[in-house]
Chains A and B, each alone.
Chain A
């Protein structure tokens, strides 16, 4: 018995050690190129242009900027870390990410609270003290806008739509060590919305408990960014889709069936396609079964449709209806503007998918001055 216990303890310790060493953002690694660059006393413009060029990014640089000579020694840092560091060292360059475009302006650098996860840059770009009487209750709070940007080469899944994942607040404390949790729930109407999602950015709104008016910072904020990550994606092609109703295709261990594909019968211009994505629970591997617990079948069809080889980004609508009695069967529909007699229809399904949980940490977030 003692021997068995000893083995178990050893096994547990080994798992723990292994777990500590695992980078939760490792799966994103293949989507970004680490920057290794060393320069002494070199123009900040020259360094910046090299970073942008190597990463295929085009930022607008200000004409009135007088770059300073700076020294950098980047070793395997992310694109965003490198850009932010150049701005900081120059001292008169400010990155203004305006949704889809990025501007650099000649302005004293601002201490924006930042966190990085591979191709993603997280910033707290706005903090608001809110006093509110929502009769009959008080709903005072501290609102934080958490903005995320991603590099050109990587587009995260917008799931739950239109956000690239969710953000949990693991820990939030004021300067006296008082917790700012639980998050404050507010009526969904007539409250500031977090903002939109663009090709390159998205914003979440976090609503924490109010901070005492005599305190001027949030001492600590630990977040967990959870995002579904497709480990394996299958492009599923249907030829002459309007005549292929009932045709099935294997998608890893799942099966996708085109139930119908037709133009709107009432005269609309859209092409409506209905699919069923299903899995046979008796034939699933243990790994896929585990993945389905983290990211269910209903989230496996990606927001991507091609008709006759052309990606349909404009006016595409998706609807997902999980079968309440059978978690292994999901009905999916898409409506896209399309030709009346398409030759091919292609959709994208994640056959393997995991839920990444990436910790993000911020310290000493400055609060706006509180009026008397």
Chain B
């Protein structure tokens, strides 16, 4: 014990912060509860504790070193998450009556992207206020308080836009930077089928950057896990297929996904749902590598990124530009949990060709193919670059690693049609 303490003192001499000293000492404590407490607090301190922890990561005490490395790894993961899954923005505004057109200025320091108000309504007044209210919730409250504003489905690039119209008043659940809502509830009765659907949406702030959901299994779609009536009695939430696919994720718009989830027709007499619980699974990149083939027309060696092999099969000039063929392959592992298909790691239209004159042109994909089986997944792209100069480098981003974020939702007291 004395030796361990002596080692810490040597390492921590430059430290000034008494709390850090105490926490570091606790990392080697005999009581596991104290050790865990110290770990939690160091994680909370985050970047402020990093220099100390990095110094300790090379220390001699095996136990302390392992804990420190674990904390640093957690901090690294948190930093990656922050990069792709930014913090929830909140609004603090004293309760009062405001001129609508003045609100964007007042919110400027709290919401990093501008709030756009319809010009025709800028002069109208609204009573609103809130203390650390999530940005999405504040905007919904603003729409309802005003009565003539609505949040459109599409949010423009770099701004929150409010449109003129009836507020939706739909059931909404706020979860960090996300806003999950029920856009529509449909109940259908046919001679041979009875059932319903909920159209669910998830909006996210501009500092959230999920991966495209193409080519992921349906389990990563919206999922309702619990549905009750007003008395709390569990209802059968799984609807029979209505003849058209329920896996209909719409991700064609900016910062919103929508999906229609089949539900069973609620029993006779049920007019409201007490609770609807579920989750949305979202994928985020954690490591994006830039793949580059220099002097691509001279022939290039394959690039290896983790399990993935990327080959530039051909790159040749025509009288109109440059034709290129890319091949990506990776071992197929259907059992790997939360694995990303190759198609989700790479987008053909993000391939760029830089000319010797500095011109950068985009890949016009003319044909693509995807195949899997026999233990390998492959993709081939054939396309064209409208480049007149000689080709200097062909490059594109490739998602080398990713993480999964589960966004929960819970709606209460939902009116049925």
Q: A128, B189: Cβ atoms under 8 Å?
A: yes
Q: How far apart are the CA atoms of A190 and B222 in the complex, in Å? A: 15
- The proximity string for B residues 370-396 relative to A, scoring 1 for CB distances below 8 Å and 0 otherwise, is 000000000000101000000000000
Assuming the contacts A129-B189, A130-B186, asked whether A135 and B168 have C-beta atoms less than 8 A apart, the reply is yes
Q: A266, B189: Cβ atoms under 8 Å?
A: no
Q: A368, B184: Cβ atoms under 8 Å?
A: no
**Which A173-196 residues have C-beta < 8 A from chain B?**
187, 189-190, 192-193
**Which B25-44 residues have C-beta < 8 A from chain A?**
none
Cβ of B182 under 8 Å from chain A: yes
Q: A136, B268: Cβ atoms under 8 Å?
A: no
- In the bound complex, residues from chain A placing their C-beta under 8 Å from that of B191 are 126-127, 366, 368
Find A134's partner among B183, B194, B268 (CB 8 Å cutoff): B183
Q: How far apart are the CA atoms of A134 and B415 in the complex, in Å? A: 12
Stretch of B4-12, B242-250, B301-309 on the interface side: B242-250
- In the bound complex, residues from chain B placing their C-beta under 8 Å from that of A135 are 168-170, 182-184
Find B258's partner among A131, A138, A190 (CB 8 Å cutoff): A190
- In the bound complex, residues from chain B placing their C-beta under 8 Å from that of A136 are 166-170
| B167 and chain A: residue at smallest CB distance | A136
- In the bound complex, residues from chain A placing their C-beta under 8 Å from that of B188 are 128-131
Cβ of B320 under 8 Å from chain A: yes
Q: A132, B366: Cβ atoms under 8 Å?
A: no
- In the bound complex, residues from chain B placing their C-beta under 8 Å from that of A368 are 189-191
Q: How far apart are the CA atoms of A130 and B189 in the complex, in Å? A: 7
Q: How far apart are the CA atoms of A136 and B140 in the complex, in Å? A: 13
Q: A132, B417: Cβ atoms under 8 Å?
A: yes
- In the bound complex, residues from chain B placing their C-beta under 8 Å from that of A127 are 190-191
Most buried by B among A187, A192, A266: A266
Cβ of B364 under 8 Å from chain A: yes
Cβ of A140 under 8 Å from chain B: yes
Cβ of B323 under 8 Å from chain A: yes
Q: B417, A131: Cβ atoms under 8 Å?
A: yes
Cβ of A37 under 8 Å from chain B: no
Cβ of B187 under 8 Å from chain A: yes
Find A140's partner among B167, B199, B367, B417 (CB 8 Å cutoff): B417
Q: How far apart are the CA atoms of A193 and B244 in the complex, in Å? A: 9
| B150 and chain A: residue at smallest CB distance | A136
Cβ of A267 under 8 Å from chain B: yes
Q: How far apart are the CA atoms of A371 and B364 in the complex, in Å? A: 54
Cβ of A372 under 8 Å from chain B: yes
Least CB distance, B168 to chain A, in whole angstroms? 4
Cβ of B344 under 8 Å from chain A: no
- The proximity string for B residues 163-185 relative to A, scoring 1 for CB distances below 8 Å and 0 otherwise, is 00011111000000000001111
Q: B170, A190: Cβ atoms under 8 Å?
A: no
Q: A128, B187: Cβ atoms under 8 Å?
A: no
- The proximity string for A residues 299-310 relative to B, scoring 1 for CB distances below 8 Å and 0 otherwise, is 000000000000
Least CB distance, A141 to chain B, in whole angstroms? 10
| B170 and chain A: residue at smallest CB distance | A135
**Which A354-372 residues have C-beta < 8 A from chain B?**
366, 368-372
Q: B190, A126: Cβ atoms under 8 Å?
A: yes
Cβ of B135 under 8 Å from chain A: no
**Which B149-168 residues have C-beta < 8 A from chain A?**
166-168
| A143 and chain B: residue at smallest CB distance | B188
Least CB distance, B306 to chain A, in whole angstroms? 32
Cβ of A6 under 8 Å from chain B: no
Find B384's partner among A138, A266, A370 (CB 8 Å cutoff): A266
| A187 and chain B: residue at smallest CB distance | B184
Cβ of B310 under 8 Å from chain A: no
Cβ of A265 under 8 Å from chain B: yes
Least CB distance, A278 to chain B, in whole angstroms? 31
Q: B318, A267: Cβ atoms under 8 Å?
A: yes
Cβ of B260 under 8 Å from chain A: yes
Cβ of B265 under 8 Å from chain A: yes
Assuming the contacts A128-B189, A371-B189, asked whether A267 and B415 have C-beta atoms less than 8 A apart, the reply is no
- In the bound complex, residues from chain A placing their C-beta under 8 Å from that of B269 are 372
**Which A142-188 residues have C-beta < 8 A from chain B?**
187
Least CB distance, A136 to chain B, in whole angstroms? 5
- In the bound complex, residues from chain A placing their C-beta under 8 Å from that of B366 are 266-268
Q: A192, B417: Cβ atoms under 8 Å?
A: no
Q: How far apart are the CA atoms of A189 and B248 in the complex, in Å? A: 10
Least CB distance, B146 to chain A, in whole angstroms? 14
Q: B250, A190: Cβ atoms under 8 Å?
A: yes
| B385 and chain A: residue at smallest CB distance | A266
| B259 and chain A: residue at smallest CB distance | A190
Q: A266, B320: Cβ atoms under 8 Å?
A: yes
Q: How far apart are the CA atoms of A265 and B320 in the complex, in Å? A: 8
- The proximity string for B residues 89-110 relative to A, scoring 1 for CB distances below 8 Å and 0 otherwise, is 0000000000000000000000
Least CB distance, A53 to chain B, in whole angstroms? 34
Q: How far apart are the CA atoms of A163 and B384 in the complex, in Å? A: 36
| A265 and chain B: residue at smallest CB distance | B320
Least CB distance, B234 to chain A, in whole angstroms? 20
Least CB distance, B171 to chain A, in whole angstroms? 8
Q: How far apart are the CA atoms of A83 and B366 in the complex, in Å? A: 49
- In the bound complex, residues from chain A placing their C-beta under 8 Å from that of B167 are 136
Cβ of A133 under 8 Å from chain B: yes
Q: How far apart are the CA atoms of A126 and B367 in the complex, in Å? A: 40
**Which B250-300 residues have C-beta < 8 A from chain A?**
250, 258, 260, 265, 268-269
Q: A369, B189: Cβ atoms under 8 Å?
A: yes
Least CB distance, A99 to chain B, in whole angstroms? 14
Least CB distance, A190 to chain B, in whole angstroms? 5
Q: B168, A132: Cβ atoms under 8 Å?
A: no
Assuming the contacts A265-B320, A267-B323, asked whether A131 and B187 have C-beta atoms less than 8 A apart, the reply is yes
- In the bound complex, residues from chain B placing their C-beta under 8 Å from that of A370 are 189
Most buried by B among A137, A140, A187, A189: A189
**Which A30-52 residues have C-beta < 8 A from chain B?**
none
- In the bound complex, residues from chain A placing their C-beta under 8 Å from that of B168 are 135-136
Chosen A-B contacts, 12 in total, with CB atoms closer than 8 Å, are: A126-B190, A131-B186, A132-B184, A132-B186, A135-B170, A135-B184, A136-B166, A190-B260, A267-B366, A366-B191, A368-B190, A372-B269
| 13 extra interface residue pairs, beta carbon distance < 8 Å, beyond A131-B186, A189-B258, A190-B250 | A126-B191, A132-B184, A132-B187, A132-B417, A134-B183, A135-B182, A136-B170, A190-B184, A192-B243, A266-B321, A366-B191, A369-B189, A371-B265
Closest 3 CB pairs of A and B: A135-B170, A131-B417, A133-B417
